[in-house]
Chain A
Amino acid sequence: MTTTPAAETVPTAAALALGDDALVLSHRLGEWAGHAPVLEEEVALANIALDLLGQARVLLSTAGDEDELAFRREERAFRNCQLVEQPNGDFAHTIARQLFFSTYQHLLHDRLASGDGPFAPLAGKAVKEAAYHRDHAEQWTLRLGDGTDESHSRTQRAVDALWRYTGELFQPVEGLDEVDWAGLERTWLELVTDVLGRATLTVPEGPRTGAWSAGAGRQGLHTEPFGRMLAEMQHLHRSHPGATW
């Protein structure tokens, strides 16, 4: 049994959207290597990054050559949501980003895994990984939110700052017609509200989509830090055209 959907049956736009989400978030988590607050988190963050990188490789391979797609596309051709490209910030920002994304990813893959679409085999594997990522993010949200005054205020700041990028997660992705996006969003909001409440944090009142962020990443419109991230990621590959590594 294979977890790789046959390339001809997979909608490319959807493979790129999901694959780019995983690739970009994995890269951001890689920036933590050697900087984590405790050794256990060095292991955990690398573990999550590796899971995501594995998902990205399967998805991008169904859309074309994984390295061609990762290292030779320009910023405007990437289809990831803006949430995953946000800089790591402090540990609270990284955890808030993880909470928002992994809750979304867990729900989405759960939906896809139970359907009979081309992504079902991949989602079946990814849903187990996403469940672990979500648990990790929830546990840390509780520790940080309901920890010290400092950790509480840092985490509230992070939640507030990233809130505006969460609406985009529920813009319908072309090719994933089986997904009830509005239903997914309602469940996501309930789950996130519950975790934030238990962590003694306030659910932000601000909009979840700004003028720019509604579906922008999926159309290749990104935030400024993303170009810099790609410059670092792609530099060596682009410096040696045609080389095999």
Chain B
Amino acid sequence: MTTTHAAEAPPPDAPDGLQEHFDATIARDQRIEPRDWMPDGYRRTLIRQIAQHAHSEIIGMQPEGEWITRAPSLRRKAILFAKVQDEAGHGLYLYSAAETLGADRDDLTQRLIEGRQKYSSIFNYPTLSFADVGVIGWFVDGAAICNQVPLCRSSYGPYARAMVRICKEESFHQRQGYELLMTMMRGTDAQREMVQDAVDRWWWPSLMMFGPPDDASPNSARSMAWKIKRHSNDELRRRFVDMTVPQAEKLGVTLPDPELRWNEEAGHHDFGTPDWDELMRVIKGDGPCNDRRMERRRTAHEEGAWVREAATAHAAKQAARARKGAAA
């Protein structure tokens, strides 16, 4: 599949040789950098993907941020604070990566707030107990790692480099989430019940994080040809299941899928089919928390407007004073 590197016909106005040079760079597994020529479709696809990735980091602060003020020990509170702070930092790296493609962060934020760009479906599910914090670390960060480690080799340089930094921090969060669950499983009956309940609620939404099945994923083929994406949705989903099942056994929880079993012949786990109708509803805005997440993001943005305006006005006054000082 990756041999079809000329994924899009050169636009009529592409100067001679640029398309060929681009195709050859991709074929040799070399990186495209911000000043290189690239097809418009490649640029648009990347802006969309990186922006949605950035939005996901920012919206993703909300479900876990819910528990910062209720964390049951000071150690867990510090861990959660650090994690939510890291997510804001990841959002910042990713917006910067998108800006290297000519996008503008304010414009991308506006698109998010107006619902014209998406974020990961998973953050539209509620965090109902403290065990959810651990399960988000284990499943959601685990799924993000499966998705993102291959992106460290993505063909667009700034994106790939952002992913290297992000993946290091995500693996740390994943281990901390799993360690919280381990501690809770060694605790009281009530704590063990909280963990199993959280696992039951988050398992299927986590599998949906990899996107629709391959035969219904409109952008996949082109993204793979461009080496923006390196593996298909189904392939990454299967990898996640194979990775997670032994961890669930070690933890002592069951995964809520009666069809889940090891397939000796395939060397993989067989598993049930996620509810794709639910995924479509959540992506279209009709999940349990879509309105709440968007409303909160919009409110923070609107209520912060006077602060941003003050910073701009102050900077302008300072600049004017500096000019006056230099002229005097």
Contacts and interface: CB of A to CB of B under 8 A. Distances in A.
Contacts of A150: 306, 309-310
Given A37-B308, A143-B310, A144-B310, A43 B85 contact: yes
A147 B183 contact: no
B191 A56 contact: no
B57 to A, nearest CB: 10
B84 A33 contact: yes
Contact of A91 (B74, B180, B307, B317): B307
Contacts, number: 143
Interface in A21-70: 23, 27, 30-31, 33-43, 46-47, 49-50, 53-54, 56-57, 60, 66-67, 70
Given A46-B88, A56-B74, A244-B183, A39 B304 contact: no
User: Chain A, interface size: which category?
Assistant: 35 or more
B311 A242 contact: no
Contact of A43 (B74, B75, B92, B296): B92
Contacts of A146: 314, 317
B307 A245 contact: no
Contact of A34 (B65, B75, B78): B65
B188 interface: yes
A211 interface: no
Name the prevailing secondary structure of the A interface residues.
helix
B142 interface: no
Contacts of B164: none
Interface string A229-245: 00011011100101111
A159 to B, nearest CB: 15
Interface string B281-315: 00000000000000011011001111111110111
Interface in B38-70: 58, 61-62, 65, 68-70
A232 B61 contact: no
Nearest to A33: B65
Contacts of A71: 72-73
Contact of B296 (A34, A67, A232): A34
Nearest to B306: A150
A104 to B, nearest CB: 23
Contacts of A143: 310-311, 314-315
Nearest to B62: A34
A142 interface: yes
A148 interface: yes
Given A47-B85, A142-B314, A148-B313, A237 B72 contact: yes
Contacts of B311: 38, 143, 147
A57 B74 contact: yes
Contacts of A53: 74, 77-78, 81
A243 B72 contact: yes
B82 interface: yes
Interface string A132-144: 0000000000111
Nearest to B186: A244
B314 A245 contact: no
A148 B70 contact: no
A35 B300 contact: yes
B72 A38 contact: no
A236 B70 contact: yes
A245 B300 contact: no
B53 to A, nearest CB: 14
Interface string A201-238: 00000000000000000000000000000001101110
B191 to A, nearest CB: 6
A147 B310 contact: yes
Interface string B179-193: 010011011101100
B77 A39 contact: no
Interface of A: 23, 27, 30-31, 33-43, 46-47, 49-50, 53-54, 56-57, 60, 66-67, 70-71, 90-91, 142-144, 146-148, 150-151, 154, 232-233, 235-237, 240, 242-245
Given A43-B85, A147-B313, 5 more contacts: A42-B85, A47-B85, A90-B303, A146-B317, A243-B188
17 contacts: A23-B74, A30-B77, A33-B84, A34-B65, A34-B300, A43-B89, A56-B74, A71-B73, A91-B304, A143-B310, A144-B314, A148-B310, A148-B313, A150-B309, A151-B306, A245-B180, A245-B183
